[in-house]
Amino acid sequence: MIPRTLVLLCCVAVLSPWVARAHDPDVPELEVPEVSVIGERPVAASSQQFIPDKEYLLQPQGRPAQVLRLIPGFLAVEHSGGAGKADQYFLRGFDADHGTDVAFFTDGMPVNMRSHAHGQGYTDLNFIIPETIEGLEVNKGAYLPEYGDFATAGAVNFKTRDVVKEGVAQGAGGQFDTQRYLLMFSPTKDKVRTLIASEGYFTNGPFEHDNRYFRANLFGKMTTNLTSRDELSLKATYHQAHWNASGEIPLRAVNDGTLDRFGAIDPSEGGKTLRTTTHLNYHYDTTTGGQFFANAYAQYYRLDLYTNFTFFQNDSVNGDGIVQSDRRVMYGGDLGYKQRGEVFGLPSIGAIGVQSRADEIHVRLGTQTRRAVTGVTMDSDILEASYAPYVKAEVQPMEWLRLAGGLRGETFTFDVRNRCATCAQQPAGRKSSGVILPKMNLILGPWASTEFFANYGEGYHSNDARSAVAPGSSPLARARSYEVGVRSKPFGAESVELIATLWRLDLKSELVLVGDEGTTEIRGATTREGVEVATRGQVWGPLYFNGSVTWTNAEFRNGAAIPLAPEVTAYGALLLKWPEGLTSQLQATYLGVRPLTEDRSIKSPAWINIDLSERYQLPVKLPHGRMEAFFFIQNLLNTKWEQATFAFASRLRSEAVAVTDIHFVPGNPRMVMGGLSWYF
């Protein structure tokens, strides 16, 4: 069998002379028809995959994070009793809170927020319009040198489209006053390729106190070729949202009938946010199989978040409401070069690059009552910057053996200045820190359409700058990840793919929830290990299946449980393409019982949620375009389930002392939403 890397090299060699003569005035121009090349993306680990848009366009479009459940072992749930805030992410034994141990990107631009007011690595994906995404690049573990901060459990890169063949205007509505509107089209599609999209979304949710969640998104992208060998892409986004939230409610109040599942102790919770981004991507292909690439980005962001976790524990009169404010400018980019060729006669690929990022942050923590600020606890200016050179190489000494790996260096500077002389907390100081991170990958095969993988990599997450500058602190938490796995298509290249992975991850220090502040604190070292089994593909004719089951054991080094860490997760979806333009999808998501305390005395209940999606190409003739009808039923069986679940102490107004209890965000009841799309 000829390796795919050799096929690609041959294609480059054959086409290079023709490309080189493209600007020769003595050579007549030829009209070459567009050719689509479809092939598998080479992977370095069994858990690495690319999820194309066709697999997630049938997802309910209320929350962009819904598409993450297509990744084996990945779940995202609402965290605050109302949409608007970043989701809570679960992957590989991590309750990664809002993104502490999972790195997110759009076209290589980082999304996670360092030293955020609400939690380290905070990742709000609501600025993404799902229809603008052509696929998800998923890399678990820490095996690739191009990924750094927060990429401990894994990294997800949302790749956006350059152009759409058909424009779309869409309107949808459903229960709980839910509405969504979408407009997306490409004004130009040739030398200059453009994509424009806008989205408006509103819902009151199932809560007694209306959610009143509204978001508006704008997206614009322009792609062009300055020469026959390069590509330049410029992208900009705008996101604005505001919402009310019912918060995390105490189970004891629901059990004794004093509070409805969709009620609130403090209905003034909620927030507002804004995010704008600009992003430039450029690459130039040389005549000798090399590529120079350069990317740059800038973001402006702000958030005001009003929450109340402990109710009346600290202030029996006005309540324990807190306000967390974040204002920041974030900018950075990367520069590098990669080369295909031969080393000692062996097909090889090498890359060298450097990434940099700076965050200029004003972050504030205070007290509030019904969104009126009553005091300041912490007020800081932060300048946090990082610089990361890396090298990466891949060589194929034999047809059945491929080696890949690299080295990444990371240097951080933390500079924190206190703005409040009378605040209870006054972190200040300057500190630098760095790590060297090796990555190694071994790929064997394919034999009978089966490949075997062995991987080792070191990654890290940075800690909040306010804790990083404290004496004796460890600003960067190193992670060591190990993995062995297999991928197979036993029934042929177009058959169902089977994936099995055994993995382990050791983390130097854990971040755990602090209920009183709604943020996290640094704790001791931990170990996680687990198994992932997944399958996806065409089962028979028009029937497709995608499913996975994962099991994880997550503990501190002393044997105590890691609170909130998922143990068993599962996902399954059946997709059927009926005749006459009808497509149906039935999908189920499962999260098993998990400990909420280190001694395992309190556990969250398991839940399963089933959704149904239908799309139908309407047989109507239009002067321009076509029509499609669709509807979703989320939580088809109307199951009572809990999304975010925690155990901590709180005090109700009627209680004399604080009580340790389960606090949870109720999962949405059955919800029906439908609409029409005009493709033009």
Q: pLDDT (tens digit, 9 = 90+) per residue, 526-554?
A: 999 999 999 999 988 899 999 999 999 99
Any idea which fold 4-679 has? Maltoporin; Chain A (2.40.170)
For residue 54, name the pLDDT band (cuts at 50, 70, 90).
confident
- The tokens 């005009």 sit on which residue? 678
Best CA proximity match to 248, nearest among 669, 642, 658, 520:
642
pLDDT in tens, 180-227: 999 999 999 999 999 999 999 999 999 999 999 999 999 999 999 999
Q: What is the pLDDT of residue 424?
A: 87
594 - beta bridge partners? 604
Tell me the pLDDT tens digit for each residue of 439-491: 999 999 999 999 999 999 999 999 999 999 999 888 999 999 999 999 999 88
- Residue 41: pLDDT above 70? no
Q: What percent of the chain has pLDDT over 70?
A: 92
Distances (CA, A) of 666 to 96, 320, 406, 518, 617: 20, 22, 44, 18, 35
Measured between alpha carbons, how far is 28 from 24 in angstroms, rounded to an integer?
8
**pLDDT over 60 (residue 39):** no
User: At 16, is the pLDDT very low, low, confident or very high (cuts 50, 70, 90)?
Assistant: very low
Residue 32 has what pLDDT?
38
Residue 629's alpha-carbon distances to 99, 168, 612, 674, in angstroms, are 35, 13, 14, 8
Q: What is the DSSP letter of 28?
A: P
The stretch 346-352 carries a mean pLDDT of 96
Positions of E strands within 286-400: 290-307, 322-343, 346-369, 372-398
φ/ψ of residue 132, rounded to 5: -85, -5
CA separation for the pair 273, 326 (Å, rounded): 9
What is the per-residue burial (b if ≥16 Cβ within 10 Å, else e) of 476-497?
bbbbbbbbbbbbbbeeeeeebb
Task: Using alpha carbons, list the distances in angstroms from residue 344 to 4, 395, 590, 618.
Answer: 19, 10, 50, 59
* pLDDT score for 40: 52
Which tens digit of pLDDT belongs to each residue from 286-298? 999 999 999 999 9
**Mean pLDDT (whole number) for 670-675:** 96
Mean pLDDT of 51-59: 80
Residues 6+ apart with CB under 8 A from 450: 486, 487, 488, 489, 490
Q: Is residue 82's pLDDT more than 80? A: no
Q: Does the pLDDT value for residue 13 go beyond 60?
A: no
Nearest 5 degrees, angle CA 584-CA 590-CA 594?
A: 170
Q: What is the pLDDT of residue 511?
A: 67
**Statement: residue 282 has pLDDT above 90:** yes
pLDDT the model gives residue 514:
60
Pairing of strands 168-174, 568-577: unpaired
Torsion of CA 147, 153, 159, 160, to 10 degrees: -120
Mean pLDDT to the nearest integer, 340-350: 92
Bridge partners of 487, per DSSP, are 451, 499
Across residues 139-166, what is the average pLDDT? 97
What band does 24 get if pLDDT is binned at 50, 70 and 90?
very low
- First and final CA of the chain: distance in angstroms? 44
Query: Residue 455's closest CA among 406, 409, 489?
Result: 406
Mean pLDDT of 265-280: 97
pTM for the complete prediction?
0.92
pLDDT at 574 over 50: yes
For residue 21, what pLDDT is reported? 38
Task: Quote the mean pLDDT of the chain.
Answer: 91
The string of pLDDT tens digits covering residues 576-609 is 999 889 999 999 999 999 999 999 999 999 999 9
pLDDT in tens, 358-377: 999 999 999 999 999 999 99
Strand, helix or coil for residue 306: strand
Average the pLDDT over 89-96 and give the result.
93
Q: Is the pLDDT of residue 1 over 50?
A: no
- Beta-bridge mates of residue 394: 349, 404
Confidence of residue 14 (pLDDT cuts 50, 70, 90): very low
Q: Where are the domains of the chain?
A: 4-679
Structure tokens at 9: 């090299």
